[in-house]
């Protein structure tokens, strides 16, 4: 079953990208601020808490616990989309992650990573 917003199904699985909204068990929320580069994410991590969320079509959003943010960042950094690297073969394991900054319910910083494979 698909809800009327068409960005996710009733079970919380992502249907389309790019993301137009974020969601969790409490419902839809979030406002996209900007697309991010590797350096932008480094700067955000140095500035304070960052919540990562990974989106993959056909799967639920994966919310990374804030306490795991640095380990997660280290693991995904090689797959972060870069200008000039437009082919999946340019990235480890044949996928890349397009990053964007979002503002959460209380203004918290969220980095959404959209998986392309």
- For residue 91, the 8-state DSSP code is S
pLDDT digits (tens, 9 = 90+) for 32-63: 999 999 999 999 999 999 999 999 998 999 99
Is residue 86 in a domain?
Answer: yes
| Alpha-carbon gap, residue 83 to 23, rounded angstroms | 28
Confidence of residue 91 (pLDDT cuts 50, 70, 90): very high
Is residue 3 in a domain?
Answer: no
Is residue 88 in a domain?
Answer: yes
Q: How many domains does the chain have?
A: 1
Is residue 1 in a domain?
Answer: no
Is residue 34 in a domain?
Answer: yes
Contact 51, 64 (CB under 8 A): yes
Is residue 76 in a domain?
Answer: yes
pTM over 0.75: yes
Q: How much is the pLDDT for 14?
A: 73
């Amino acid at each position: 079953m698909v809800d009327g917003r068409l960005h996710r199904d009733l079970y919380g699985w992502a249907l389309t990208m790019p993301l137009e909204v974020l969601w969790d068990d409490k419902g839809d929320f979030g406002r996209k601020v900007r697309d991010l580069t590797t350096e932008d994410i480094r700067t955000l991590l140095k500035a304070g808490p960052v919540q990562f969320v990974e989106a993959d079509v056909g799967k639920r959003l994966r919310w990374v616990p804030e306490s795991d943010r640095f380990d997660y960042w280290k693991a995904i950094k090689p797959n972060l989309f870069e200008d000039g690297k437009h082919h999946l073969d340019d990235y480890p394991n044949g996928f890349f992650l397009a990053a964007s900054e979002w503002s959460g319910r209380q203004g918290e910083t969220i980095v959404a990573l959209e998986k392309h494979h």
